[in-house]
Structure 1
Amino acid sequence: MHQSDGIAWGVAENIGRIVLKRQEHANTISRAASRALVGAIDSVLEQQPRVVLLAAEGRIFCAGGDIDEFVAAGPALGALVDDILDSLHPALYRLATAPLPVVAAVNGPLGGAGIGLALCADFVLAAESVKLRTGYAAIGLSPDLGASYFLARRVGAVRAQQWFMLSETIDAQRCLAHGVVDALHPDAELAGAAENLALRLAQAATASLAGIKTLCSGLPVRDLQAHLSLEHQLLTARASGADAQEGVRAFVERRAPRFTGE
């Protein structure tokens, strides 16, 4: 694993891993950490893993931006935020829209930009200690890192707006009930559950998962005619690949398929 400014990353066995390692600062995203996170995302994606796993060390997944750095910036806070987001937002977009599954292992409370980082994932597994607090309005700011987009996608626009406006703490059971997270695990079991899911996805048919993500992520703005056309195009391409041939044979032979990513 490579490491820089509180971010570690690497690719092994077709799984890309990005880990927040600033636990002494609640895994907040400082200017330096944001640069490292951009580099980590680009490095991992360039190696074309089959799945990406986002995780964090310590008791808190990510509390958002580095408030100490915000205070030190004083009147230059706007310039600091602009500098951070100028490269971090495009990197987050590349990660969220990459043609592969992204898994987030949320090991505890999250807030601010940590919401966007966690919820950009296709699968969000959380520890029972998870809590969500948007926090932006409480300090006179508005959302970033896609937090408003990804939270609204999961809980609905009106509920997301209310949560952002009130900055109330949303506990683990409400997070699960409203679809903020997809599953809750005892804290000690979260890492294993996330690794198992990542391994399962890494063994799946890569192009099939990419096609599914492309189709579902384009809704609801794509109309039915365009969607059917895209389904036709993608399925024809998938059916011409080696993984489809292997999958069909394995089904008939009643065995587990051995996908190669072709």
Structure 2
Amino acid sequence: MQQQSDGISWSVADRIGRIVLCRPERANAISRAASRALVRAIGDVLDAKPRAVLLAAEGRVFCAGGDIEEFVQAGSGLAGLVDEVLGPLHPALHRLATGPAPVVAAVGGPIGGAGVGLALCADFVLATPSLKLRTGYAAIGLSPDLGSSFFLARRVGVVRARQWLMLSEAIDAQQCLACGAVDALHPQDELERAAESLVHRLARGSPDSLASIKRLCEGAQGAPLAEHLELEHELLRACAQGANAREGVLAFTERRAAQFS
């Protein structure tokens, strides 16, 4: 399955879903049309039940955020444009971020605005030294979207996220790495290989185990300990009943790589 529409391409092959922003001439800005295509891409990819998902982009900029030209054209109708774009896109992003498949983002350049949320929603964020993170919202009198405030706060802490969002200053790659906004930096010509290696490694893992880990960590901060322990019990028991657990334990005792189904 491979499709492309309005600056977004997507495919699923070898148990790996790929969603690529391919509007480099517009810094991969998320236009009204691109947002619809992105919703469709996320739905199609996740409906195929991949073992892992890779987010990537063509060109020098991963994603500059929303399409400012469309904002200007909307004029007094900007709030309506916001509703049109985010009404479908936010649920799709939520499904991607909280679904069972691990998500890897390969960020080969600057991110801004909504691009921050799209990149940082991933479980693993790999970037290059050309990365610059600039939230940008406050500079144009707007507030965050696409989970940028949520994912940024989760990664770098509430106070630092608030400061980055309020000041709209460009944060360079080394500072992003030091603060935990991204997980690793790779030279530009090695990023794709590193991302592919990671996503293939994840795709070889036990889907039961990885899905359980995502679910547990997602709710770890908000749930009372007793409730969280009960969920750990429930999910571990479900995993223990499956063939992947039997294969994993046997492979461990036989000192070989497990072959998960």
TM-score by length of 2: 0.99
**Partners in 1 of 2:117 and 2:22 — Cα distance?**
18
Alignment of 1:10-29 (within 5 A): 10-29=11-30
SS in structure 2 at match of 1:63: coil
Give the count of matched residue pairs: 260
Q: CA RMSD for the aligned pairs?
A: 0.6
Post-superposition offset of 1:219: 1.7
Whether 2:245 is the aligned partner of 1:247: answer no
- Map Cα deviations across residues 147-180 of structure 1 (whole Å, 9 max, x no partner): 0000000001111011110000100000000000
Q: Partner of 2:238 in structure 1?
A: 237
Q: Which runs of 4+ in 1 moved over 3 A?
A: none
- Map Cα deviations across residues 101-120 of structure 1 (whole Å, 9 max, x no partner): 01100010000000000011
**Partners in 2 of 1:148 and 1:58 — Cα distance?**
25
Letter in 1 for 2:219: G
Whether 2:60 is the aligned partner of 1:88: answer no
Alignment of 1:55-134 (within 5 A): 55-134=56-135
SS in structure 2 at match of 1:17: strand
Alignment of 1:160-199 (within 5 A): 160-199=161-200
Letter in 2 for 1:230: L
Q: Partner of 1:158 in structure 2?
A: 159
Alignment of 1:141-156 (within 5 A): 141-156=142-157
**Partners in 1 of 2:209 and 2:35 — Cα distance?**
32
Letter in 2 for 1:12: A
**Partners in 1 of 2:235 and 2:87 — Cα distance?**
33
**Partners in 2 of 1:187 and 1:162 — Cα distance?**
29
**Partners in 2 of 1:122 and 1:74 — Cα distance?**
36
Post-superposition offset of 1:185: 0.2
**Partners in 2 of 1:73 and 1:10 — Cα distance?**
32
* Identical amino acids, percent of aligned pairs: 69
Post-superposition offset of 1:78: 1.1
TM-score by length of 1: 0.98
Letter in 2 for 1:13: D
Letter in 2 for 1:145: L
**Partners in 1 of 2:115 and 2:66 — Cα distance?**
8
**Partners in 2 of 1:90 and 1:251 — Cα distance?**
39
SS in structure 2 at match of 1:52: strand
Q: Partner of 1:32 in structure 2?
A: 33
Unmatched tracts of structure 1, length 5 or more: none
